[in-house]
């Protein structure tokens, strides 16, 4: 099992469940340790501007620092707002963003091509379905 640090300890077991539902090929490409860090919208916007050249806050950002360590930055206020707009529960939207971040850490990037974007979307939907027990 990968070592995961989540800065909201009561959700650590949930994050471990997400990792469990990732396909083995995806899970094996994750770094040995993953930190999930919640940040404010202001901090998210600053990071998004620096690393992606975008002026708005991001719901999730992923940073891979090598085979040993990766970081998933989540912005709870943006995720909560998106959940409301899309008619999802906050927990579902947060899970989706963490799944999305882990997929990025494994090396899959939806920005590369339309085919990869569809693959990422199918993978996210499958994992979210398994997590919800549907």
The per-residue pLDDT for range 46-78, each reduced to its tens digit, is 999 999 999 999 999 999 998 889 999 999 999
d(CA 23, CA 4): 17
Q: What is the pLDDT of residue 20?
A: 83
Question: Domains along the chain?
Answer: 3-132 (3.40.390.30)
pLDDT digits (tens, 9 = 90+) for 89-133: 888 898 889 888 988 888 766 566 566 678 778 888 888 888 776
Please state whether beta strands 69-74 and 33-38 pair in parallel, antiparallel, or not at all (unpaired): parallel
Q: Which long-range contacts (CB under 8 A, 24 or more apart) does 81-84 make?
A: none
d(CA 27, CA 30): 5
Q: Is the pLDDT of residue 6 over 60?
A: no
d(CA 66, CA 31): 7
Please state whether beta strands 3-6 and 33-38 pair in parallel, antiparallel, or not at all (unpaired): parallel
DSSP class of residue 1?
-
Nearest partner of 34 among 17, 51, 19, judged by Cα: 19
């Amino acid at each position: 099992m990968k070592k995961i640090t989540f800065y909201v300890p009561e959700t650590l077991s949930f994050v471990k469940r997400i990792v469990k539902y990732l396909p083995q090929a995806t899970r094996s490409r994750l770094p040995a340790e993953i930190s999930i860090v919640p940040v404010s919208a202001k901090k998210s916007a600053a990071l998004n501007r620096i690393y992606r050249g975008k002026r708005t806050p991001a719901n999730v950002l992923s940073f891979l620092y090598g085979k040993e360590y990766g970081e998933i930055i989540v912005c709870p206020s943006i995720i909560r707002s998106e959940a409301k707009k899309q008619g999802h529960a906050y927990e579902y939207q947060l899970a989706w963003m963490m799944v999305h971040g882990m997929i990025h850490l494994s090396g899959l990037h939806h920005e590369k091509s339309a085919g990869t974007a569809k693959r990422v979307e199918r993978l996210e939907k499958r994992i979210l379905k398994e997590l919800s027990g549907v």
